[in-house]
Structures are given as structure tokens and as C-alpha cells.
Structure 1
Amino acid sequence: MRLGILETVGLAASLVFAIPVGVFGIETLLAGQQALGAGLVVVAVLMVVLPRRLTTPTDLPGAVAERVIGTAVKDPESDDES
């Protein structure tokens, strides 16, 4: 799963906000508040996972263009020399 430049920057931006939430959630768990701590850890994980899994309206033009280009341009078949 290779990431492009914009996807890498987006992931880094998500991590900038998710890591402090996750660390605070773990500290809260260790302090004895299981519900709040577990909730914060789940929120931190979702902050990173959901943008990668969900399709937003801004992603649709890129997905459509990718499909059109994929059907119009075929990859050359590799010649197997045995």
C-alpha cells in the first residue's frame, strides 16, 4: 500500500492530532478511569483510520478519473522469456 505525497501529508496531519489524544487516553486508563481512557484511545485510532477508509465528496473526482484512465490505458503485458 503505497502512499502518494498528499496522502502522506494527510496521514502526518492526522497523527499530529491523534497522538496527543491517544497518549492522554492511555494516561487516563492508567489513572483508573477506564471508560474515558478507552473512549479517547478509540477516538485517536478512528482519527487515523477513518480518513483512509471513508470516501468523501472531495475524493470522488479523483476516483472517477482513476477509473476512466484505468479503462482507457492498459498496462503492457510483460513478456516471459523461459
Structure 2
Amino acid sequence: MRASMGIMDTVGLAASLVFAIPVAIFGMNRLLDGQQLFGAGLLLVAALMVLLPQKLTTPMDIPQKVAGKAVGKAVKEPDDEKN
């Protein structure tokens, strides 16, 4: 995951966990009941529910990345001058 998360990222992660945790618990129950393939599949789905939103680029991320690159090129860091 990212080093620092904003409030919206934290809320998004919490929302993902609200839906992923019950799927993971059901998957664990299926594994313990002997249904290995179904249980493992559910655990994989639960993991992807949490990881994919953190890694994928959404249409809202693209303008932010473009603006960040444009600002980085337009605004230069001042040189440290000794007075």
C-alpha cells in the first residue's frame, strides 16, 4: 500500500474491508468444511477486493497525475543561495 493515505483513501479502504471480511470469513469456513477449491477462491476474491482498488488507476486519478506533472515542470525549486 501507499506510504501515506489521505482521508478519502482511508474511507475507501474501510469500505472495501466491510465487504471483504465477510467473504473471507465465509471462505475460511468453506476451507474448514473441506471445500478447498471454493474456500480458496473466496479468499482470493476477498484479497482482490482490498488490493485492486489500491493499485488500479481510476478516471479520477488521471487528472491528478497530469496536474502533478505539469506543476512539477512549471514550478522549480529555488536554489539554496548563501548570503
Range of TM-score over shorter length: 0.7 to 0.9
Indicate the residue corresponding to 2:26 in structure 1.
Answer: 24
Question: CA RMSD for the aligned pairs?
Answer: 1.8
TM-score for the superposition, normalised by structure 1: 0.83
Q: Which letter maps to 1:26?
A: M
Mark the runs of 5 or more structure 2 residues left unpaired by the alignment.
none
State how far apart, in whole Å, the 2-side matches of 1:8 and 1:77 are.
36
Correspondences of 1:54-69 after superposition (within 5 Å):
54-69=56-71
State how far apart, in whole Å, the 1-side matches of 2:16 and 2:31 are.
22
Deviation, structure 1 residue 5? 0.8
- Could you tell me the percent identity over the aligned residues? 60
TM-score for the superposition, normalised by structure 2: 0.82
Mark the runs of 5 or more structure 1 residues left unpaired by the alignment.
none
Count of residue correspondences:
78
Q: Give 3-state SS (helix, strand or coil) of 1:19's partner.
A: helix
